[in-house]
């Protein structure tokens, strides 16, 4: 049996196209941890290097466009992928490069698009002039779009201050071509967090009590990567969302304080060891 025939039978391969977080709590680092802890195989295409810790983002160094394209090309041509997950893309040219590579090399591989716009610290991670490019190139045909409430407002043009607002934003984003949308409710003031998933055929509501913790850095990256992993392992989308949320909730519940700001979630909780 050839190597190519062998890799075609391996499920759980996730290619993450995202920025690097020197603090280790979000971005590529969070993606690798989440994918691995949930039983997948992580590959990466780094789009930017951030100078970052729990207190903020102190610098962003873009990766050359040909290097981004090259990372995508060599991983897909050799190992392949069952799902591709995108995170921080940073600017218009990077989005255009990533979209072109995925359309050419992986048109049929499901994509989980996490529209990373702002870090937990409040620092902006997506240029203002890149929003329309993201909407036109990556939102259409996304297997799953995973915006938080502020991101859903920007992308949909609808106010997202309640579950009803989440539903309306998801509907609008579905109209733009996304096959499914998960509008997360963590930024909406409530003792119970509700995430709303809309698909082409149904609507799902996932609820959980708000966890009192400052260790929230990387929650969006972690959830999107976890969901992508379960999709890559063959789960249905609702089941993948439920499993990904369970992983994240336990990572929040078991997190110990690290750093002087918003610390990272505990990605390694399935190992059963204290961090």
| Catalytic residue IDs | 184, 216, 218-221
The 10 Å Cβ neighbour count of residue 256 is 11
CA-closest candidate to residue 57, choices 22, 30, 90, 28: 22
């Amino acid at each position: 049996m050839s190597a190519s025939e062998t890799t075609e039978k391996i499920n759980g391969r996730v290619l993450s196209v995202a920025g690097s977080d020197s603090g280790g709590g979000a971005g590529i680092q969070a993606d690798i941890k989440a994918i691995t802890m949930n039983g997948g195989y992580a590959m990466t295409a780094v789009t930017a290097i951030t100078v970052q810790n729990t207190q903020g983002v102190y610098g962003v160094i873009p990766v050359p466009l040909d290097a981004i394209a090259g990372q995508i090309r060599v991983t897909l041509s050799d190992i392949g992928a069952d799902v591709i997950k995108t995170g921080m893309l940073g600017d218009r040219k990077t989005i255009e490069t990533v979209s072109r590579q995925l359309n050419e090399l992986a048109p049929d591989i499901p994509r989980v698009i996490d529209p990373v716009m702002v870090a937990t610290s409040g620092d902006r991670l997506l240029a203002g002039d890149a929003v329309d490019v993201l909407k036109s190139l990556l939102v259409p045909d996304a297997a799953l779009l995973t915006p938080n409430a502020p991101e859903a407002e920007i992308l949909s043009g609808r106010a997202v201050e309640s579950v009803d607002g989440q539903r309306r934003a998801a509907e609008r984003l579905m109209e733009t071509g996304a096959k499914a949308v998960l509008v997360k409710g963590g930024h909406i003031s409530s003792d119970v967090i509700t995430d709303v998933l809309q698909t082409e055929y149904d609507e799902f509501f996932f609820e959980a009590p708000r966890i009192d913790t400052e260790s929230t850095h990387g929650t969006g990256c972690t959830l999107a990567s976890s969901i992508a992993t379960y999709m890559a392992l063959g789960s249905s989308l609702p089941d993948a969302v439920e499993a990904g949320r369970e992983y994240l909730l336990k990572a929040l519940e078991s997190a110990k304080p690290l750093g002087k700001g918003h610390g990272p979630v505990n990605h390694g909780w399935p190992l059963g060891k204290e961090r």
